[in-house]
Amino acid sequence: MASANVLVTGASSGIGRATALLFAERGARVFGTSRRERPDEGGVRMLRLDVRSAESVRECVGEVLAEGDIDVLINNAGIMHLGFAEETTPEEARALFETNFFGAVRLVDAVLPGMRERRRGRIVNVGSLAAWVGEPGEGFYAASKAALARYTESLRHEVWHLGIKVCLVEPGVFTTEVLNSSTANESAIADYDGPRESARATLQGALRKGEDPRKAARIVWKAATAKAPRGRYGAGCESLWVPPLKTLAPQRLVDAALRRAYGLP
Burial (CB < 10 A; 0-12, 13-18, 19+), residue 100, is buried
Q: Is 192 a catalytic residue?
A: no
Distance of CA 236 to the CA centre of its chain: 14
Catalytic residue among 141, 151, 192, 233: 141
**DSSP code string of the chain:** -TT-EEEESS-SSHHHHHHHHHHHHTT-EEEEEESS----BTTEEEEE--TT-HHHHHHHHHHHHTTS---EEEE-----EES-GGGS-HHHHHHHHHHHTHHHHHHHHHHHHHHHHHT-EEEEEE--GGGT---TT-HHHHHHHHHHHHHHHHHHHHHGGGTEEEEEEEE--B--STTTT-EE-S---GGGHHHHHHHHHHHHHHHHTPBPHHHHHHHHHHHHH-SS--SEEEESGGGGTHHHHHHHS-HHHHHHHHHHHTT--
Catalytic residue list: 141
